Structure 1
């Protein structure tokens, strides 16, 4: 279903979702960002930066998500007015030349419920390039430590009564080439999709993994 949803995103659509405009400037950073909407769909842009590398290219990528949703919306309305996708954008990290911007989409195209999707962009503003999870967990050892810590947190949540899949939490899907994540001061937060480790009703499950655990000797 997730694959079908991601493919569908290219030509299906959304209902309008308006967000208030605001400017954000985090302490310790030279980047100011602002929220915009394109035909009602939200996106974030860099409006002031001391890092000049590829700012226009980054903004183009960040805006395209909203443009794609708007184009999809027009096609979707032709099929069924009751089908829809709503979208939100969130600034997760903006500090020390690093930026994490995430999009959260919900598509309903019939059936008992819709489908969630998320797209998170992590940038190194000194180079203008995206930061991949593979570049952080760049050895089998680091990947193993990160997954082990995620398993530890999932088990702790389960013992406290969280609605998680008992038969999955000790070996959750952990594909560093596909897994969404965002930056934190002291680590990274990885995101599990609905049905990865929990029922649909729980939505996304985020686990923060400290760099100290990843780099532990």
Structure 2
């Protein structure tokens, strides 16, 4: 994986995406900044097959709390030689200072099968790897650049697999627009020491823009408001809060998260009395104390009455590599309520789901002529409840190590609506049909 300095990433993203995201440029504000430090930071991120993270290798001269705004856009067009319309969901994480910057993209045809793409920005282009119809995540990541795109106002112009392509920004009927506020901060392990280890933490959220004014007392909340509340609840649940707890404002979630993270970081780093002295004398011996925690929310599906989001978390607390994973969720936009596993599938259907998932994983990872345990960490495929819906079916997401090696990354398995139909609760089957009819 290739990494870039913070200044290089900021310049590249600014040059490439300023035309596409001019209305959501970050209005960064920095609070009181503690003493800075310079030098090389050990930033050991995993090789992610679904997306590329451009992490900062050089510590910025200013450390402190920063607020920024990301951008989410939808583009539509046709692939060269194909009459099918494709929809590209492109999310640009933005930040100033030390925080990570990345592109998150997924693409699908009208059949509702999503494919996550790998992406990065360079000085004069936007590059995406992968293709619509390519299920193997590693194959998509290793296939080389397939999409080369330039922003021209509200249009992406370039080539797909060497053939001309033009994608126009779109706002499909019954889709939602989002604001993308974000926060980041640094925590100095030993204040007063010039080259003290520093932990980095960030939080990026998505909030529906079509928020409705709070109803009068005794009236039911509007679907838009309920949706925002439930997204905030799920975001807060990433940090251990119960799903039914009251949903606070995003700034409160950030304050709670940062306070808890700082407490945990100090407990781990300052546990040994001699660490502070050693850090002052030999800062190069403390790379493993450069902790990180980054959380980001991005769109997986956005076509009413279904909205599916991914809540991604990356953590590094020393060692060879960090840990990461994506919790996914689907919401009924008519009510704003989240659809959980028990709201989607009939009771007692896990055995059938396991069989469908085994076929899907064999197809995705090209497992033929051998048992699952020869390739994976399991004899039979467990049914994860980490699942989201599209108009065409359901996607089951497995974290690293859950069924395969760390090198295999996250594994997402798609099962079509046709195969799932006998296993779906009737109301959920109706939602999928409604989504298809609105396209």
- The TM-score, its normalising length taken from structure 1, stands at 0.74
Runs of 4+ in 1 over 6 A off after TM superposition: 15-19
Structure-2 change in CA distance of 1:83 and 1:185 (3 Å): same
2:207 aligned residue (27, 39, 45): 45
Give the whole-Å Cα distance in 2 for the aligned partners of 1:209 and 1:52. 29
More displaced 10-residue stretch of structure 1: 103-112 or 203-212: 103-112
The secondary structure found in structure 1 opposite 2:308 is strand
Pairs aligned (count): 197
RMSD over equivalenced CA pairs, Å: 3.2
Q: Alignment partner for residue 116 of structure 1, among 298, 311, 324?
A: 324
Equivalent residue number for residue 139 of structure 1: 347
Which residue, 44, 65, 70 being the options, matches 2:258? 70
1:131-210 equivalences in 2 (<5 Å): 131-141=339-349, 143-156=350-363, 157-159=365-367, 165-166=373-374, 168=377, 171-175=380-384, 179-210=385-416
Question: In terms of Rg, which structure is larger?
Answer: 2
Q: Give how far 1:216 is off.
A: 4.6
In 2, distance between residues paired with 1:119 and 1:95?
20
After superposition, the Cα gap between the structure-2 partners of 1:41 and 1:189, relative to the gap in structure 1 and judged at 3 Å, is same
Larger mean Cα displacement after TM superposition, 49-58 or 106-115: 49-58
Stretches of structure 2 that go unaligned for 5 or more consecutive residues are 1-64, 75-169, 185-201, 213-222, 239-252, 270-288, 424-439
Q: CA deviation at 1:115?
A: 1.7
Alpha-carbon offset, residue 59 of structure 1: 4.5
SS across alignment from 2:206: strand
Structure 1 residue runs without a partner (length 5+): 1-14
User: Structure with the greater relative contact order (CA < 8 A, sep ≥ 6): 1 or 2?
Assistant: 1
Distance 1:147 1:17 in 2: 43
Task: Work out the CA distance in 2 between the residues paired with 1:76 and 1:82.
Answer: 13
Contact 1:192 1:204 in 2 (8 A): yes
Offset of 1:53 from its aligned partner? 5.4
Relative to structure 1, the CA distance from residue 149 to residue 190 in structure 2 (aligned partners, 3 Å threshold; closer, same or farther) is same
Per the alignment, do residues 101 and 82 of structure 1 end up closer, same or farther by CA in structure 2, a change over 3 Å counting?
A: same
Q: TM-score, normalised by structure 2?
A: 0.40
Match of 1:61 in 2: 233
